[in-house]
Copies of this chain bind each other. A is one copy, B any other.
Amino acid sequence: MNKPCLSANDIQERLQNAGVQPTLQRLAICKFVLNEADHPTADDVKEWADVNLGKISQATVYNTLNTLVDAGILKEFKFPHSGKVVYDCNTHDHFHFVDESTGKIYDIDPADVKIDIAIPKKFKVKDIKLVLKGEIK
């Protein structure tokens, strides 16, 4: 995964442009998810925050992540293999590959996938979710 590595300023700007007050918690969580984390769950974020931010409440973690999702800064995904929501700093349309042994998630560029669907034309497809599962050699 190739993280863009945004500066604190970049992040503050993004939050403000999205109309989100750049509080300490939001800046920190946003920085973590955008620069360091790889498809973290709320729990992952909470654990990181406990270590790196001092105690923060679970509710704030959820609220913050939801705020960032609403602001379009993050995307959330649910995968079949886990009950937990996963946050993705890649907000572009894309697909996923799940390593079945580790659970690690890899983004797949839709340009690398060609999908031809021959279903009756009354089905108007507006959104495609593709999740590949397998192993990595």
Contact = CB atoms under 8 A, between A and B. Distances in A.
B137 A132 contact: no
A133 interface: yes
Contacts of A137: 122, 124
Interface residues of A, number: 31
A80 B96 CA distance: 14
B134 A126 contact: yes
Nearest to A121: B137
Which applies to chain A's interface (DSSP): helix, strand, loop or mixed?
strand
Copies in the complex: 2
Interface in A94-137: 97, 100, 106, 108, 112-119, 122-137
A107 to B, nearest CB: 10
A77 interface: yes
A100 B112 contact: no
A124 B134 contact: yes
B136 A126 contact: no
A78 interface: yes
A44 B80 CA distance: 20
A95 B100 CA distance: 19
Contact of A119 (B112, B123, B129): B112
Interface of A: 77-78, 80, 97, 100, 106, 108, 112-119, 122-137
